[in-house]
A = this chain, B = another copy of it.
Amino acid sequence: MEVTRGNFREVLLKLERILPAAEFLAIDGEFTGLHTGQDVNAFDTPSQYYSKLRSGSMDFLLVQFGLCAFSYDKENDKYTHQAYNFYIFPKSPQIRSAPDPRFLCQSSSIEFLASEGFDFNKVFKEGISYLTQPEEQKLREHLEEKHKSCNNTISSSPGNEDSFQPIPIPDEYVSTIEDSCAHIKTFLASSEPEELVLGCCNAFVRKLIFQTVGQRFDSSVVQLESRLTDKRNRVMVVTRAGSVEERKKKQQEKKDKELQDLEDAVGFTSVLRKISESGKLVVGHNMLLDVCHVINQCYFPLPEDYSEFKEMVRCVFPNLLDTKYMSDLPLFKDKISSNALGHLFKTLSEEPFKMCIAKSEEDGHGYSSLDDKYHEAAYDAYITGLCFITMANHLGSLQKPEVNPVLPSSPLINPYMNKLFLLRVQDSPYINLIGEDPVVRRDHVFFVSFPKEWKTYDLTQLFSPFGSVFVAWLSDTSAYVALHHRNQASLVRKTLTQSDTYTVMTYAAHQQIQDGITNC
């Protein structure tokens, strides 16, 4: 089901019932881009990898969030699902002090999403707003302060400008100002229409009108405000002030409206909170970027400190499972030749696996596995959920005696939980959210720096005495070079050192230098 500004409140209410009743949740996100340039490297450590994501990927926007809630019916041993596609977009400020965010797009990502049928018009027009906690708090305080000070201004001047030093009216504007005042006088003398709109004039003239009306009319008689028309032209609107009661009522309505605007601005952030509070297992496929974006947009700006980041993830998502990580482990890896989501689903639909079926719980709220709507966030979440159930049950089928079903609470799932897969890291380590990160042996990896003219060929040539190598570029003058024959490493250390054109050092030495740089 598509969720936009129009039906958001309704869906949010519904989630209050659905989330606690779910067996587990699957999520997926779509972004306006992936990275700004300095890409991750095959031999980054988890913490370096995180730093690069934080500085290179968070300026892009999460524009669609897919949530798929899976329920399990014990009696009939059947899963069902409900899928929601949230369209998300930072609202431009209704509230004057709210931020007007800038965000980044990557051409290839945008073009790809558009070609897959992603509806950007819908996101931009009807996207649900969101705020981080600090943003929300700031706006709330600002509003409270404003409402407090407002209580004393019922009887201030109409334009509530600080009119202690009037601006002299230049000759060329005198007739415009006088015309406006005459109009207002006529308007106040009659009882209709409700309001008088003073036409097109520039900001300075508006200021002069405010000032003059403030001097000549009483605020208990006339109210003046500037308003944006549909076409984004600014006009001035005159209304009759009415009695003190009427003005108080109007002011209360305005306050209520502002509070409602604030709730709307919080928007999707409430969904994240509800997911978090539910404590349910949250499943994603290659979910690091999704987790980073959703936290960064709806919770707290990502911290610089890596261990703080881990703590933050644990706090927002106390139970996570990454199906990309799971499918990359021994019991699955040798049966799965590619774990891109589409490939994984296809492989898990064949022997020796048994693809789970999870019907849609309600018409229009879900998918069938034949839909083939890859890259629609909720569909990807749905497929991810099916993959998770199938892999979980496969684990059960390997037990003696067989275990069926294997639910998220099963101890068989434990080893796969709270680890985030690191895409494109060569020896596939992962982020361990509940302990130390894995330490991988990289004795066979060397850091090399060289002239800009070098190509992969030059590096393979340099290392050719030691067999074939894998090159992971760092910049156009440096790279990590990994030996395929690990046992050649000590030979490299002994024979290859420096020259005028290039330098070679061990991976460990280079890491130490880098740590030195980041620590000072």
Contact = CB atoms under 8 A, between A and B. Distances in A.
A338 B162 contact: no
Given A165-B467, A200-B346, A338-B202, A105 B107 contact: no
A195 interface: no
Interface string A319-361: 0000000000000011001111011001100000000000000
Contacts of A469: 165
Most buried by B among A107, A108, A168, A199: A107
Contact of A108 (B32, B93, B457, B470): B93
Most buried by B among A102, A113, A121, A168: A102
Contacts of A101: 106-107
Contacts of A110: 89, 124
Interface string A449-491: 0000000110010001001111000000000000011000000
A75 interface: no
Nearest to A202: B338
A304 interface: no
A91 interface: yes
Contacts of A37: 102
A249 interface: no
A47 interface: no
B468 A36 contact: no
A214 interface: no
B200 A338 contact: yes
B102 A231 contact: no
A125 interface: yes
A334 B171 CA distance: 10
Contacts of A89: 107, 110-111
A113 B468 CA distance: 54
A120 interface: yes
Interface residues of A, number: 67
Most buried by B among A106, A125, A166, A469: A125
A374 B231 contact: yes
Contact of A107 (B100, B233, B346): B100
Interface string A202-241: 1001000000000000000000000000011100000000
A343 B200 contact: yes
Contact of A233 (B111, B343, B468): B343
A233 B340 contact: yes
Interface in A262-301: none
Given A90-B107, A107-B92, A168-B468, A121 B114 contact: yes
Given A167-B484, A343-B233, A334 B172 contact: yes
Interface of A: 32-33, 36-37, 89-93, 100-108, 110-115, 119-121, 124-125, 162, 164-168, 172, 176, 199-202, 205, 231-233, 333-334, 337-340, 342-343, 346-347, 374-375, 456-457, 460, 464, 467-470, 484-485
